[in-house]
Amino acid sequence: MENIRNFSIIAHIDHGKSTLSDRLIQTTDIVSDRDFQDQILDSMDIERERGITIKSQTVCLPYTAKDGQTYFLNLIDTPGHVDFSYEVSRALASCEGALLLVDASQGVEAQTLANLYLALEHDLEIIPVINKIDLPSADIERVKNQIEDDLGLDPETAILVSAKEGTGIEDVLEGVVTHLPPPVGDTEAPLKALIFDSHYDPFRGTVVHFRVYQGKIKAGDSICFMSNNATYKVEEVGIFQIVRVPQKTLSAGQVGYMIAGIKTVSDTRCGDTITLKKQKCDTPMPGFMETKPVVFSSIYPVASDGYEDLVTALEKLKLNDASLIYEKDTSAALGFGFRCGFLGLLHLEVVQERLEREYDLSLILTAPSVQYEIVLNDGSLLIIDNPALYPDPTMISLTKEPFIRAAIIIPDHYMGAVMKLCLDRRGINRNYQYLTNNRLEMIFELPLAEVVYDFYDKLKSVTQGYGSFDYEIIDYRETDLVKLDILINGERVDALSQLVHRDRSVERARHACEKLREEIPRQMFKIAIQGAIGGKIIARKTVSPFRKDVTAKCYGGDISRKRKLLEKQRKGKKRMKMVGKIMIPQSAFLSVLKTDKD
């Protein structure tokens, strides 16, 4: 165990975690140059296309240090986006130390601080690493000062690297070996191992990723999961070196995988403890905190016969993504589907794309919403996230919505633009402070519903990409909530209903009507698209009909001939409108969710 090190790389988005992992993997020669590709740990297509890490990935690196000993370094590469901080907390639970990566030109940002606090909660040893020192805009002295002032770490221990160029990689490996502690644990004690991730292999069933804290595990052992007492026989154990490498045994301190013919996806829970069936350990490991979804949306298959496929796909995806929560839901317009909870809008987009790509589904999503508390006249409390469950307004005594405390770090000359953006979103400016002579941290209290919609995109555009944003939910506050219905030809479309603040309702209704007018195909009759609160129409757009020129053959003569033909046409259109059905294309549901690209 003296020669094992378990560590992860944590940082803000785009500070170079995956690139540093690439260089560490290349330096330790576990992949031949022919098989190597950039961002080798980002195995999903969607990760490569967006250039982000979504899933934590593990790899075991053999490294011969300067003292001549061979060490096994278990590296866990983590995501940087605020939506995936749950992945980070799970990865950190199986480590003893962390490399905190800071961009030499951008400096310390919001997610750097958030991830540092996560690592400190797990009592990890932290090595600061300054990356991208090859950039012309790199300012190493300024970043060292930030590491000391903002993070409270010793800037002299910071390792200077350029992951792109490959400079300083040996120093990082030596730093891991010398500064990070080896794992502790008794190999002779009863087996105790923590599941921190798992994925589904169509040929082998569920592959469980775990960290052994005490005891040993080998093929042929009968094991037991402590949360549900399910027992299995181990078929194979091993370590990750990009591909799975089987081993005879895994003992205390090691990180690896296990295949045990687990067919049902729901049996493996992240945070569960594995122990031997005959010789159980006395107490389970403390798992991970339960995630609380903040954004809710319903997912429906485009064709009703795709429901069974959606059930299977969500089950398998849930295994890979423990933070996804779902329950059954129905809609008059869209049939059977699921109400899902997500950690943020990026998480929602990623889940949608993964369902469509990996499981070949066509889906419709409803407008994202947050959880509201509604106090009824009789004093009872309702918690709703779905507009369909909104009670009769006459029964409501007051409504409350969740508020967040947002920390926004920006260069100071963007202060006015960010202030305007937050105040437009009903934000309250709590305070601001200078972190360095030109970088500000602004603290706002904002309604979560306003942030969910498109706040992050707007923040990035008004700060030209320099703004960084982190948030936590603080409490529920009283609000003036209304249910906005969208009517097409006088019929409510329940999938387009939204819960909005009264002040924003007209703007949101006009936006939805405008988008639908662009998407709904024209018919032979007029189509009215209206936004309504209760019985009051607050916005309207009209899709004008196709019109055949019935008077073309009248070239002169009395006007009454033309009138007679036009009257006949009008009656025909009226009759058509009574029996005509309007098909709303899938793109129309999606376009309502997107805001203008201004």
Tell me if 290 is assigned to some domain. no
Task: Please report, for residues 148, 332, 384, 531, the alpha-carbon distance to residue 388 in angstroms, rounded to integers and kept in the order given.
Answer: 51, 10, 9, 16
Q: Tens digit of pLDDT for each residue in 243-255?
A: 778 888 888 888 8
Do 271 and 301 sit in the same domain of this protein?
A: no
CA 574 to chain CA mean position, Å = 48
Tell me if 185 is assigned to some domain. no
Domain boundary among 179, 201, 224: 179
Do 121 and 256 sit in the same domain of this protein?
A: no
Q: Is the dihedral of CA 50, 51, 54, 60 positive or negative?
A: positive
Do 170 and 65 sit in the same domain of this protein?
A: yes
131 is in an annotated binding site: yes
CATH, residue 329? 3.30.70.870
Query: Is the model's pLDDT at 596 over the cut of 70?
Result: no
DSSP state of 284: P
Looking at residue 358, what is its pLDDT? 80
Q: Which helix (H) or strand (E) holds 296?
A: strand 295-301
- 183/43 Cα distance (integer angstroms): 28
Token pair 């998407």 is at which residue?
Answer: 519
- 99/91 Cα distance (integer angstroms): 13
Do 463 and 589 sit in the same domain of this protein?
A: no
223 is in an annotated binding site: no
Choice between 231 and 55, residue whose per-residue pLDDT is larger: 231
Do 16 and 163 sit in the same domain of this protein?
A: yes
Tell if the pTM clears 0.75, that is, is over it.
no
Report the b/e string of 300-324 with b at 16+ CB within 10 A. Answer: bbeeeebeebbeebbebbbbbbbbb
Choice between 256 and 44, residue whose per-residue pLDDT is larger: 256
CATH, residue 552? 3.30.70.2570
- 503/478 Cα distance (integer angstroms): 14
**Could you tell me which residues are beta bridge partners of residue 223?**
232, 276
Query: Is the model's pLDDT at 300 over the cut of 70?
Result: yes
Tell me if 98 is assigned to some domain. yes
Do 353 and 501 sit in the same domain of this protein?
A: no
Looking at residue 289, what is its pLDDT? 61
- 144/157 Cα distance (integer angstroms): 10
Q: What is the mean pLDDT of residues 287-304?
A: 76
Phi-psi category of 256—alpha, beta or left, where left has phi over 0 and alpha has psi -120 to 50? beta
Contact 64, 40 (CB under 8 A): no
Which residues contact residue 180 at a Cβ distance below 8 angstroms, ignoring those fewer than 6 apart?
5, 7, 96, 97, 125, 127
Instruction: Count CA atoms within 13 Å of residue 250 on its CB side.
Output: 32
Q: Tens digit of pLDDT for each residue in 164-214?
A: 887 888 888 888 888 888 888 888 888 888 887 777 777 877 888 888 888
Residue spans of beta strands (DSSP E) within 437-579: 439-447, 468-479, 481-488, 491-492, 498-501, 527-533, 536-543
Token pair 């295949």 is at which residue?
Answer: 259
Local confidence band at 597 (pLDDT 50, 70, 90 cut-offs): very low
**Could you tell me which residues are beta bridge partners of residue 527?**
543
Domain boundary among 155, 179, 203: 179
**What does 408-450 look like in DSSP terms, one character per residue?**
EEEEGGGHHHHHHHHHHTT-EEEEEEEEETTEEEEEEEEEHHH
Looking at residue 288, what is its pLDDT? 60
Do 171 and 243 sit in the same domain of this protein?
A: no
Tell me if 526 is assigned to some domain. yes
Choice between 324 and 453, residue whose per-residue pLDDT is larger: 324
Q: What is the mean pLDDT of residues 106-114?
A: 77
Query: Is the model's pLDDT at 400 over the cut of 60?
Result: yes
CATH, residue 29? 3.40.50.300
Tell me if 310 is assigned to some domain. yes
42 is in an annotated binding site: no
Domain boundary among 479, 503, 523: 479
Do 19 and 167 sit in the same domain of this protein?
A: yes
461 is in an annotated binding site: no
580 is in an annotated binding site: no
19 is in an annotated binding site: yes
Q: Kindly report the average pLDDT of the chain as a whole number.
A: 80
Tell me if 187 is assigned to some domain. no
CATH, residue 208? 2.40.30.10
Which one, of 514, 511, 516, lies nearest residue 493 by Cα? 516
**What angle, 0 to 180 degrees and rounded to 10, lies between the N-to-C axes of helices 448-462 and 415-424?**
150
Q: Which helix (H) or strand (E) holds 126?
A: strand 125-131
Do 221 and 317 sit in the same domain of this protein?
A: no
Do 218 and 244 sit in the same domain of this protein?
A: yes
Local confidence band at 598 (pLDDT 50, 70, 90 cut-offs): very low
Q: Is the dihedral of CA 506, 507, 513, 514 positive or negative?
A: positive
Which residues contact residue 420 at a Cβ distance below 8 angstroms, ignoring those fewer than 6 apart?
none
Give percent of the chain above pLDDT 70: 87
Contact 206, 326 (CB under 8 A): no
- 236/169 Cα distance (integer angstroms): 33
Tell me if 284 is assigned to some domain. no
Which one, of 395, 393, 402, 394, lies nearest residue 482 by Cα? 393
18 is in an annotated binding site: yes
What is the torsion angle, in degrees rounded to the nearest 10, for the CA atoms of residue 309, residue 310, residue 313 and residue 318? Answer: -150
Tell me if 285 is assigned to some domain. no
Local confidence band at 41 (pLDDT 50, 70, 90 cut-offs): low
Domain count for the chain, please give it. 5
Pairing mode, strands 4-11 and 70-77: parallel
**What angle, 0 to 180 degrees and rounded to 10, lies between the N-to-C axes of helices 85-92 and 110-121?**
30
Do 86 and 71 sit in the same domain of this protein?
A: yes
Looking at residue 551, what is its pLDDT? 78
Task: Please report, for residues 92, 184, 196, 336, 363, the alpha-carbon distance to residue 58 in angstroms, rounded to integers and kept in the order given.
Answer: 12, 20, 11, 38, 32
134 is in an annotated binding site: yes
- Three-state secondary structure call for residue 477: strand
Long-range CB contacts for residues 289-293, cutoff 8 Å, separation at least 24? 289/89, 291/86, 291/322, 291/323, 291/325, 291/343, 292/473, 293/323, 293/325, 293/340, 293/341, 293/342, 293/343
Q: Which domain covers residue 427, as residue numbers?
A: 372-479
Q: Tens digit of pLDDT for each residue in 63-93?
A: 887 777 888 888 876 766 666 666 677 777 7
Do 131 and 55 sit in the same domain of this protein?
A: yes
